[in-house]
Structure formats: structure tokens, C-alpha cells
Amino acid sequence: MSPTQQQPKLPIPGVSNLIAVGSGKGGVGKTTVAVNLAIALSQMGNKVGLLDADVYGPNVPLMMGTSQTPTAVGERIQPLEKFGVKLMSMGFLSPGDKPLVWRGPMLHSVIQQFLRGVDWGELDYLVIDLPPGTGDVQLSLIQTAPVTGAVIVTTPSDVALEDARKAVRMFEQVHVPLLGIVENMSYLQCPHCDERIDVFSTGGGKRTATEMGLNFLGALPLDPVVRIGGDTGSPVALTGAGNPRAKGFYDLAELVAQHAKTAAAQGGPSITISE
């Protein structure tokens, strides 16, 4: 029996909801969604933490604009805090471009340390940015912690959607509620002529959600301003729900909060379609 199978599913003290953000493949903007979702939830008045569980490619430090080293009080790691969101990432502990070459048991150990060895305090939501795919980190998390629900990030392309379906099936197999699918990079709005350009096809996320009986959490555009915000450590969600470029992330946050509440109360989210 593996270590993840032996570990009981114990709540994280003080944390009301664990929200896993996953994807079937890389390159779909999963961390961008996780970062802006966490900030939007915080700006809406919630106590929020963001755990960067992508230990091989931790991008949260760059996107949140901080690279400090966490301290410890006793045996508890103190999370960093930026923009009102508590943060933990392997990028804070192993900065730079040195790769981590770890096998499953080591990954399991660090994920458990991040979940239970960090002094998260009282949180309404702990958003967890998972690595892409369906590997050891995902299993370590979902087999040992009571995840409230998972958000699957995809683009409209057939390649991304094929892998998104695999991620959905993984969460279903381990009985984690699916809060829904969000279609990122859904379209490009030309800044010069306002023409909508479907760079990666169109409508695939909504179609897949409907086919799989899941909530569709909305379509987020391919926006250079969003990319610049992530690259410069100033995520677009900081501009508030009134900014059209940030509004999609606030709409997403409202739906995630709504479906998380339903999942926590009934064991699974209700099915709705958001335009």
C-alpha cells in the first residue's frame, strides 16, 4: 500500500474549503486562473490562501510578485502574504532555475508539509494550484485531504479538451466533486478593431461541460493585459470587478463560491451553465 493510501483524509485545521485548480495539460493558463481566482475571492471579503502545489514548475512567486523565504515559528512554517492572500510555494524554498528531481514519496512528503505544516490560520478558501496532469501530487492531495471541489482549466482546442476530460475522470474516480470547467484563452479581442478572433477554436469548454454533466464556469479571453499582470507580479484581478478585463475572474470566483457551498452541503455541485 502506498503512503497516500495509508494517510487518512483529515481536515486542514482552520480551513473551510479546499479548492483544487487542475488541468489535463500544461500551457492552458491554469496558474493564471488560480492566482486571479484567489485574489478575486479575497477582494470579495473572504480569507484566502494560495498553495502552489506545482513543485516542478512553481510560478506563483513570479505572478504574485514576491520571492521572500518563509520563516518558522516552532514547527510551523509561516506563509508569506501578498495582496491579502496567504502564500506557500516550493519557489520560495528553492528559488532560481535549479530543477527538482524528486520521486513520488518525496512529493507526497512536501505536499503534506505544505498542507499541514504551514500555519494557514483561519481561511474561507485555500486555493491549490495543482501541476498539470494526473500524477503523484494530485493523488497525494486528493487522497489525504477533504477537497471541497475541483476546477478544471482548459482552452477550447481539441488537444486541451481531450486532456481535460482525463482530469475530470481522475477527480470522479477519487470522489472529488467537480465544481466545473472554465475555458481560458477562449478568444482574442483585437485591440485595434475589436474583432473577436477564435485562436484556439471556440465553445469547446462549454460543450465538454454539457456533455460531461458539469457546470460551465465561463470563458476567459486571451488578453495581453492578463499576461502582463502575471509577468510583472500585479495580477489583473487587483484592478477590481469593475474593470472589464478583470470581471471574468470575479464572475468565476462567484460561481466557485456558489458551487463550493453546494458541494460542501450536498456532496456535489448543482448543474448550471454560465454564458
pLDDT tens, position by position, 237-250:
999 999 999 999 99
For residue 191, the one-letter residue type is: P
List, in sequence order, every beta strand (DSSP E) within 39-108: 48-52, 72-73, 76-77, 80-82, 85-89
Instruction: Give yes or no for residue 174 having a pLDDT over 60.
Output: yes
Lowest mean pLDDT of 21-35, 72-86, 194-208, name the range.
Answer: 194-208
pLDDT given at position 144: 82
pLDDT (0 to 100) of residue 198: 83
195 or 112, higher pLDDT:
112
pLDDT band at 97 (very low <50, low <70, confident <90, very high): low
pLDDT, position 103: 53
Mean per-residue pLDDT over the chain, rounded: 86
pLDDT of 57 over the 50 cut: yes
Q: Quick one: pLDDT at residue 6?
A: 47
Q: What is the pLDDT of residue 269?
A: 39
Q: Is the pLDDT of residue 75 over 80?
A: yes
Return phi, psi of residue 14, to 5°.
85, -10
Query: Which pLDDT score, from 0 to 100, does residue 113 have?
Result: 87
Sketch out the chain's domains with CATH numbers: 18-265 (3.40.50.300)
* Cβ(131)–Cβ(142) below 8 Å: no
| Mean pLDDT within 161-189 | 92
Confidence of residue 16 (pLDDT cuts 50, 70, 90): very high
Predicted pLDDT at 268: 43
Residue 197 has pLDDT above 90, yes or no: no
Using DSSP bridges, classify how beta strands 216-219 and 196-197 pair: parallel, antiparallel or unpaired: unpaired
Q: How far apart are CA 246 and CA 130, in angstroms?
A: 22
| pLDDT class of 4 with cuts at 50, 70, 90 | very low
pLDDT band at 126 (very low <50, low <70, confident <90, very high): very high
Neighbour-count burial of 37, counting CB atoms closer than 10 A to its CB (0-12 exposed, 13-18 middle, 19+ buried) = buried
**274 pLDDT exceeds 80?**
no
Between residues 74 and 84, which one has the greater pLDDT?
84
DSSP code of 74? T
189 compared with 68, residue with greater pLDDT? 68
Name the nearest CA neighbour of 58 among 83, 90, 14.
90
CB-CB contact of 41 with 127 (8 Å): yes
Average the pLDDT over each of 11-15, 147-151, 177-181, 269-273 and give the range with the smallest value.
269-273
Lowest-confidence segment of 48-62, 81-95, 113-127, 256-270 by average pLDDT: 256-270
State which H helix or E strand residue 56 sits in.
none
pLDDT band, very low/low/confident/very high, at 96 (cuts 50, 70, 90): low
State pTM to two decimals.
Answer: 0.89
Q: For residue 216, what are the β-bridge partners? A: 181, 273
- What's the confidence (pLDDT) of residue 196? 79
